[in-house]
Structure 1
Amino acid sequence: MEDWLRSPAFDNLQELEFCSWLPPPVVPPPASIFRFAATLRLAAIGTCHLSDDSVKGLHFPQLKHLALEEVIVSESALHSLIAGCPASEYLLLHLVSGFRCARINSLTLRSIGVLAHVGTVWLQLGTPRFEELVIEKPPCLQRLFRIDLYDGLQVSVISAPKMETLCFFNNDNFSCHRIIQGLRADSLATMVCTVKVLAFNMSIFSLDMVIDLMRCFPCWEKLYMQNESANVMGTGPKNSWRRKHRNPNIKCLDTHLKTIVLESYRGVVSDVNFVSFFVLNARVLESMTIQVKTIDEEFIAKQQRLLQVEDKASRGARFHYTTDRCLRDIGDISNVRDLDLTDPFVR
């Protein structure tokens, strides 16, 4: 492999995806993969051990996409690697271990994706577990993809003045509190006013939780939401809102929320109540896309009546029904290139 990688045919290589696929103990990658550092624009390194010595002094002047997948790397080596990519814009940390805390200070990063759950193989190796992500002062960061919340990873955002998108996948205990926990008080007010896109999945459609989020993020423009319990009939709250939230007085409903995409709508009472809240209260809504099990004229006509579409708060709102999957999920955002899409959520 060393001879092959050192072939002149690969001079000026711009994209490299390397994965050793060797069983434990994990070995370092061949040193020859780093000979492309000066020309690489995308590097995805997987299933290997990046030692401090192997990354010390590395410089990737043109690299924009960096992915570390199932890699063991120390905290100092990780920070050294990121610092050696002065033009990086997209960072994916996928099942990495070997350190406890990652601190992000890059001046150029625009999008970060994190899946921190460590599988049994890595635990058997006895490596430190990734437990904390600290977004310190990345001035250009716009998107944060938190791909799972099962493993207790703590996320702190100290300063992210351009943060526009928050994405949370595989969240078992979704709540507004869990989303903003760890945010420093001196940056929270600024950050919540810049966030315009929220994408998440919930075990149920919970209107109370979403209303809490709307109060936290007053400039919210796009809602992308999946329901994990689509096949479990009768689960979750009824989402009755006409007494409790009759006059919601929520800024984003009145002036910002324009796009809603919902997956796994069943047409049961809880779903109808959930969606009708937005139909009757989102005053600047432009588009609502709803994934249903079947496109049947009778079913759609019934839902239109139940949702009171004729009385919609926004006269210009358009409603679309589809049987196709509308949104991307954890399986669709698994490559560092997925962080670079114009809209990373819509399929």
Structure 2
Amino acid sequence: MHITIITAPKLKILGRLTDTNISRLELGTTVFKGSPDCRMATVVRTVKVLALRLDNRRLDVVINFMKCFPCVEKLYIKTSAAWKNTQRRCSPGRIECLDHHLKKLQISYYSGKRPHVQFAKFFVLNAGVLESLVLDVYPNKHKSDRWIENQRRLLQPEKRASIGAQIDFTFGDCSSYLRDG
């Protein structure tokens, strides 16, 4: 898919971008080819809400999007049902979005397996102003209070970067994606 936006100086919401189906995204003179490789020329500061559809759950892809859209306050990540462990070890350095702007994160199709926990935990440990992390649990999976307690422990909330960050679990059908924009 090729997406071109000639001009949108007040663009605040962008999505649902995907890591596999968009071969080229043009925002004015800024061009992203495939997975964005962010340089200062490709920073779009007006976007406050970003929605991503990730078929290959890779932290480096999300970090690159956050570098390209450094003022994102709400990040919605919807994944395919079959997440694979493709996460790479990542030491991203300073990311403006994580340090100063990201307040709400919602991850859909969360299963609580190790790769999912590691992915979510990255944000818990690094998002300095995060207020809310919502984990939409994979549909048709009923989880007990004990399972939720174990997930909270694995996410290490005592080490969270943002003192006020709340971690919530929802058990819907994950179709409420972008419900509060």
Fold conserved between structures, TM > 0.5: yes
Letter in 2 for 1:182: E
Determine if contact 1:166/1:199 at 8 Å carries over to the other structure.
yes
Question: Counterparts of 1:252-291 in structure 2 under 5 Å?
Answer: 252-291=97-136
Instruction: Give the superposition deviation at 1:248.
Output: 2.7
Determine if contact 2:19/2:56 at 8 Å carries over to the other structure.
no
Instruction: Give the superposition deviation at 1:221.
Output: 0.8
Identity percentage of aligned residues: 39
1:181-224 Cα shifts (integer Å, max 9, x gaps) = 33343799697110111112211322110001011111011111
Question: After TM superposition, which residue ranges in structure 1, 4 or more long, deviate above 4 angstroms?
Answer: 186-191
Letter in 1 for 2:105: I
Provide the C-alpha distance between the structure 2 equivalents of 1:156 and 1:186, rounded to a whole number of angstroms.
10
The answer for unaligned runs of 5 or more in structure 1 is 1-151, 330-344
Determine if contact 1:257/1:284 at 8 Å carries over to the other structure.
yes
1:41-80 Cα shifts (integer Å, max 9, x gaps) = xxxxxxxxxxxxxxxxxxxxxxxxxxxxxxxxxxxxxxxx
Determine if contact 1:164/1:194 at 8 Å carries over to the other structure.
yes
Provide the C-alpha distance between the structure 2 equivalents of 1:326 and 1:204, rounded to a whole number of angstroms.
18
Higher relative contact order (CA 8 A, sep 6+): 2
Determine if contact 2:107/2:134 at 8 Å carries over to the other structure.
yes
Note closer, same or farther for the CA distance 1:255–1:271 as it changes in structure 2 (3 Å cut).
Answer: same
| SS in structure 2 of the partner of residue 193 of structure 1 | coil
In the other structure, the counterpart of 1:208 is 60
1:82-121 Cα shifts (integer Å, max 9, x gaps) = xxxxxxxxxxxxxxxxxxxxxxxxxxxxxxxxxxxxxxxx
| SS in structure 2 of the partner of residue 192 of structure 1 | coil
Provide the C-alpha distance between the structure 1 equivalents of 2:10 and 2:43, rounded to a whole number of angstroms.
8
2:44 matched to 1:196?
Answer: no
What is the TM-score of this pair, normalised by structure 1?
0.44
Q: Which has the larger radius of gyration?
A: 1
| SS in structure 1 of the partner of residue 133 of structure 2 | strand
2:17 matched to 1:183?
Answer: no
2:171 matched to 1:323?
Answer: yes
Letter in 1 for 2:165: A
Determine if contact 2:112/2:151 at 8 Å carries over to the other structure.
yes
Provide the C-alpha distance between the structure 1 equivalents of 2:106 and 2:150, rounded to a whole number of angstroms.
20
Provide the C-alpha distance between the structure 2 equivalents of 1:284 and 1:174, rounded to a whole number of angstroms.
31
Note closer, same or farther for the CA distance 1:184–1:196 as it changes in structure 2 (3 Å cut).
Answer: same
Aligned length: 169
| SS in structure 2 of the partner of residue 182 of structure 1 | strand
| SS in structure 2 of the partner of residue 194 of structure 1 | coil
In the other structure, the counterpart of 2:162 is 314
Determine if contact 1:226/1:262 at 8 Å carries over to the other structure.
yes
2:66 matched to 1:221?
Answer: no
In the other structure, the counterpart of 2:16 is 168
Provide the C-alpha distance between the structure 2 equivalents of 1:265 and 1:214, rounded to a whole number of angstroms.
20
In the other structure, the counterpart of 2:36 is none
Higher strand share: 2
Note closer, same or farther for the CA distance 1:236–1:163 as it changes in structure 2 (3 Å cut).
Answer: same
